[in-house]
Amino acid sequence: MANPALTVDQIESHNDARAEALAEDYAALGRQLGRRGVDIAAIKATEEKRLEALGQDSYAALKLIRAAMHRNDVLVNDQSILNYWASAFFPVLEPGTFLYPSGSGTLGYALPAAIGAACAVKRSGEARKIVCIAGDGGFQYTQHELATLAQYDLPVKILLVNDDSYGVIAFLQRTMFGQTHEVALKNPDFAAYAKAFGGFGITVDKTADFAAAFRAAEKSGKPAIVHLKVDTNASTPGMTLEAIRAKSLASAKA
C-alpha cells in the first residue's frame, strides 16, 4: 500500500523534532571534545584570523551580509569557496537560519532551496529576508529557477561570486597535478540575466562597492543578483592559488 501523503504540519513537526535531536547531538559532541581538551572556539578564532588575513573580497562581502541580516533572516548556501568558508565562519544566531547541503554537497542546491525558504516565509506572513550565496559554476546548475522567483514575486537576494571558474576544483587540480583541466567557465552577464527576468541586477568588483550594491538590491524589493566579480586566482585559506601552483610545479620538477 502506498504511504499516505504527509501534511505540511506533519512535515514541519517532523523537521522540528529532527532539529531538536541534532541540537542535542551537537551539544553532546561539544561536551565530549571539551573533556578531551579540544577548544573549538579557540581553533575557530585562529582559523578566522588566517582567513581574514587573506583580504578576500568575497569573505568581506559575507561579513557585510551578516551585518545587514536580522538574526531570523535565512542564509541559503550552494557549494563554492565562499560557501565552504560560510559553513565554518558565518555566525548562525537562530535554528533553521543557515541552509546548506551538508553531506550531499550538491551543486545547484542554493537557488531552489532559497525558493522553498521564501515560499515558507511568505506563507507564514513573517518579514524575514532570504539571502542566497552561490558561485558562478553552481549557480548555473539551476539558474533557470530565477524564472520561479520572478513568477511568484519572491524577493530573494543572491550574492553570486564569479571567478569564471570551478574555482575549488581548479585549486584541487593545481594542488594534486600542478595544472588545471576544463575548469574555466564562459559565463553570461549575471546582472543582465537578473534584469532579463524583471529583477534587479548589479555588478561590483571590489569590497568597497559591495555594501551599497547590496542595499540597492534590498531596496529594489525584487528578486536580485549582486554579481561580485573576483580574481580567477582567488585565494584559499593559508595560501593563494598561485602560490600553491608554484609550489606544486617546483616539487614536480624536483
Contacts with ligand TPP, residue ranges (CB under 6 A):
79-81, 105-107, 135-138, 163, 165-169
Q: Is 86 helix (H, G, I), strand (E, B) or coil?
A: helix
163 binds Mg ion (CB under 5 A): yes
Residues 235 and 168: beta-carbon distance below 8 Å: no
Per CB under 5 A, the segment of 48-56, 130-138, 224-232, 240-248 that binds Mg ion is 130-138
Per partner kind, with CB cut-offs from 5 to 8 A, the member of Mg ion, ligand TPP, none near residue 65 is: none
Nearer residue to ligand TPP within complex by CB, 107 or 217: 107
Residues in the chain: 254
Q: Provide, rounded to whole angstroms, the least separation between the CB of residue 146 and Mg ion.
A: 18
The residue type found at 251 is S
Strand locations in the chain (E)? 74-77, 98-99, 130-135, 157-162, 200-204, 224-229
Residues 95 and 19: beta-carbon distance below 8 Å: yes
Per partner kind, with CB cut-offs from 5 to 8 A, the member of ligand TPP, Mg ion, none near residue 97 is: none
Q: Provide, rounded to whole angstroms, the least separation between the CB of residue 145 and ligand TPP.
A: 15
Please give the grid coordinates belonging to residue 12. 514541519
Smallest CA-to-CA distance from 217 within 112, 133, 131, 151 is with 131
Per partner kind, with CB cut-offs from 5 to 8 A, the member of ligand TPP, Mg ion, none near residue 79 is: ligand TPP
Question: Where along the sequence are the contacts to Mg ion (CB under 5 A)?
Answer: 135-137, 163, 165, 167
